[in-house]
Amino acid sequence: MARFLLMRLVQSVFTLFLVLAVVFVIARVAGDPVTLLVTFDASQADIDRLREELGLSDPLPQQFVRFMGDALRGDFGTSFRTNRPAMNEVLERVPASARLAGLSLAFSLAISLPLGVLAAVSRGSVVDLFARFLALVGQAAPNFWLGLMLIFFFAVRLGWLPTGGRGGLDHMVLPAIALGTAGAASITRLTRSALLDVLNSDFVVMARAKGLPRRTVIFKHALRNALIPVVTILGLRIGTVISGSVIVETIFAWPGVGRLIIQAINVSDFPVVQAAVTLTASAVILANLLTDIAYMLVDPRIRYVRS
């Protein structure tokens, strides 16, 4: 188990290294940052001086090593826009994003787990039909469209909730739904099909043959096995939620990392983009690592694997 964890840790670090390398390469390919920093009428001498200052005239390998060193210390340079450290700009936005992502995942789970279980145990019923319909629609609807529709109905027409912006829970409800619906849909489908599979297995027949009540058979014997694939998907959803937040936060003007990325891209504020991309990539890597650990806690078969 310790060995498995160590392996996954090494993998995670390697993935992070690759992410940083890609960020570095893209920054060099996307254009000369110096031209963005200087005014139209800057002289060639000014440009050369700035390039020297920023270390951009050094050979690429040297730049790469310096970039990696800086990155590991969290130093991605200063924002062109605000002249403040890029990482600070990003970190300031993290709590808002984390709150939204957390709420949207909670929304996904609160809808999908009960609905998936109910659909599976009452297969073919009206509840099952409803759950399958909802799952289909939820997966098919793109989050930006859903966001706009939610704003249109609940904020503009009914006036129940704000259209967007910074604020408390009421400001988070609509973006969390827009961001969490796709997850709710896919987890509903997965929970339903995984539970149906497990309910047909011999050990469920055995559990029933022991005279256990239906509740115990479903929740103790079947659901724990059915949740193993659900945990995997949940880990992957975290990545989807983070990438989805770029669009949803922009639509709802929610002051999170996603909206910052869009703003920074619009003004070619590369240090901020690099810092934000690195941070979100790290978050996804961490989420995957945590998923594997959660997986291990649920399934003893993985706990005991020796490589």
Partner 1 sequence: MTEQRTRASLADADTILSVRNLRTYFYTRDGVVPAVDDVSFDIRRGEIVGLVGESGSGKSVTARSIMRLVPVPGRIVSGEMIFQGRDLVGVSEGEMRQLRGAHIGMVLQEPMASLNPVLTIGDQVGELFAYHPDRAPDGSRDDAVAEILQRVRIPDAVRRMTEFPLSFSGGMRQRVCIAIATACRPELVIADEPTTALDVTIQAQVLDLLLALRAELGVSVLFITHDLGVVAEICDSVAVMYAGKIVEYNDVESIFARPQHPYTKALLASLPRLGERLAHLPSIEGQPPDLGDLPPGCSFSPRCPAAIDRCREQAPDATAIPGASGSGHVRCFVAADMLAAGAATANAAPSGSTP
3-state secondary structure of 210: coil
Q: Where are the alpha helices (DSSP H) in 1-142?
A: 2-29, 33-37, 44-54, 60-72, 86-121, 126-140
Give the tokens for residue 274.
């690099």
Give the tokens for residue 116.
């998936």
Among residues 45, 202, 215, 307, the one that binds partner 1 under rule CB under 8 A: 202
How big is the site for partner 1, counted in residues (CB under 8 A)? 23
Q: Do residues 62 and 247 lie in contact, with contact meaning Cβ atoms separated by under 8 Å? A: no
Q: For partner 1, which is the closer residue by CB, 159 or 211? A: 211
Among residues 9, 140, 206, 267, the one that binds partner 1 under rule CB under 8 A: 206
Among residues 208, 253, 265, 295, the one that binds partner 1 under rule CB under 8 A: 208
Q: For partner 1, which is the closer residue by CB, 14 or 203? A: 203
Among residues 209, 215, 266, 307, the one that binds partner 1 under rule CB under 8 A: 209
Point out which span in 17-25, 32-40, 166-174, 195-203 binds partner 1 (CB under 8 A).
Answer: 195-203
Give the tokens for residue 61.
């390998």
Subset of 210-269 contacting partner 1 (CB under 8 A)? 210-213, 216, 220-221, 224-225, 228
Phi, psi torsion values for 302, nearest 5 degrees = -80, -35
∠ CA 80-99-119, nearest 5°, is 135
Rounded Cα gap, residues 152 and 172, in angstroms: 16
Among residues 39, 73, 300, 306, the one that binds partner 1 under rule CB under 8 A: 300
By CB under 8 A, residue 1 contacts partner 1: no
Q: For partner 1, which is the closer residue by CB, 157 or 301? A: 301
Subset of 269-298 contacting partner 1 (CB under 8 A)? 298
Q: For partner 1, which is the closer residue by CB, 91 or 302? A: 302
Phi, psi torsion values for 85, nearest 5 degrees = -55, 135
By CB under 8 A, residue 7 contacts partner 1: no
3-state secondary structure of 200: coil
By CB under 8 A, residue 132 contacts partner 1: no
Q: Output the smallest distance, CB 127 to partner 1, in A.
A: 17
Q: For partner 1, which is the closer residue by CB, 149 or 206? A: 206
Give the tokens for residue 149.
């529709």
Q: For partner 1, which is the closer residue by CB, 13 or 205? A: 205
Q: For partner 1, which is the closer residue by CB, 226 or 251? A: 226
Residue of 20, 36, 15, 91 lying closest to 270 (CA atoms): 36
Residue with tokens 């800086």: 70
Q: For partner 1, which is the closer residue by CB, 158 or 209? A: 209
Among residues 7, 72, 149, 205, the one that binds partner 1 under rule CB under 8 A: 205
Give the tokens for residue 222.
């079947």
Ramachandran area for residue 104 (φ above 0: left; ψ -120 to 50: alpha; else beta): alpha
Q: Summarize the chain as % helix, strand, coil (round to 5).
A: 80, 0, 20
By CB under 8 A, residue 61 contacts partner 1: no
Residue of 277, 290, 305 lying closest to 19 (CA atoms): 277
Q: List residues near partner 1 by CB under 8 A.
A: 201-203, 205-213, 216, 220-221, 224-225, 228, 298-301, 304
